[in-house]
Amino acid sequence: MNLEEYGVVFAVGAISLMLLVASPTLSLVYSFSSGKARFSEFWVLGSSHMMEDYPFDVRVNETYRVFVGIGNHMGSSSYYTVYVKFRNQNQPLPDAINSTPSLLPPLYEYQAFVADEATWETILTFRILEVLRVGNSTLVGDISINDSVFFLNSTALWNSKYSGFYYQMFLELWLYNMASQSFQYHNRFVSFWLNITV
């Protein structure tokens, strides 16, 4: 073998080694350029079906509604669960950094099978049935969600900065995992604040 042939073998070997080392990065670039990103949309819209008019100053025994929706862009049909939860200002929300859901129990759930590139939407109605005020706190006893009644026993302290007793209704999106044959938190949640003052 002469010097020129060794140069060709060295160049082919160097290029092969570079491609091997760069293959993880190239696979990311190739997958983004050749296909769509896989994700799920998740939303809550106000009573006028817009990103406004969310219930805020809530009164006892009045019915409020919001629209809840899912858009599936996962590349195949997907099976979802939406958990409706309720919290006061001190209780935990889902942790987006660690991809973990809130430890609060769900009050209500929806299940939806959504085809790829399709959307699913429904109306969530709720009514606060019982609120007691004790000193500088309120206690929400019962809530009705889509005509099902749930016992909360949730207390909020007076927020002097914003002049109210604040609670939050939030919804978590869970996705069915075929490998584990169970629903797993999909690291998406939506919420809106409620000022529940007697």
**Does the structure show a pLDDT above 70 at 13?**
no
Per-residue pLDDT tens digits for 128-141: 999 999 999 999 99
167 and 71 within one domain: yes
140 and 55 within one domain: yes
Which pTM value belongs to this model?
A: 0.81
**Does the structure show a pLDDT above 80 at 5?**
no
Per-residue pLDDT tens digits for 106-125: 999 999 999 999 999 999 99
Angstrom distance (rounded) from CA 95 to CA 158: 25
Q: What percent of the chain is predicted at pLDDT more than 90?
A: 79
The domain tally of the chain equals: 2
Percentage helix, strand, coil, to 5, in the chain? 15, 55, 30
Boundaries of domain holding 154: 39-196
Which residue, 153, 116, 152, 155, is CA-closest to 138? Answer: 155
CATH number at residue 157: 2.60.40.10
Residue 36 confidence (pLDDT): 74
HSE, CB side, 13 Å, CA atoms: give it for residue 90.
8
Q: What percent of the chain is predicted at pLDDT more than 70?
A: 82
49 and 7 within one domain: no
72 and 13 within one domain: no
Per-residue pLDDT tens digits for 163-183: 999 999 999 999 999 999 999
- With cut-offs at 50, 70 and 90, classify the pLDDT of residue 198: confident
27 and 65 within one domain: no
67 and 14 within one domain: no
53 and 11 within one domain: no
79 and 1 within one domain: no
96 and 22 within one domain: no
157 and 73 within one domain: yes
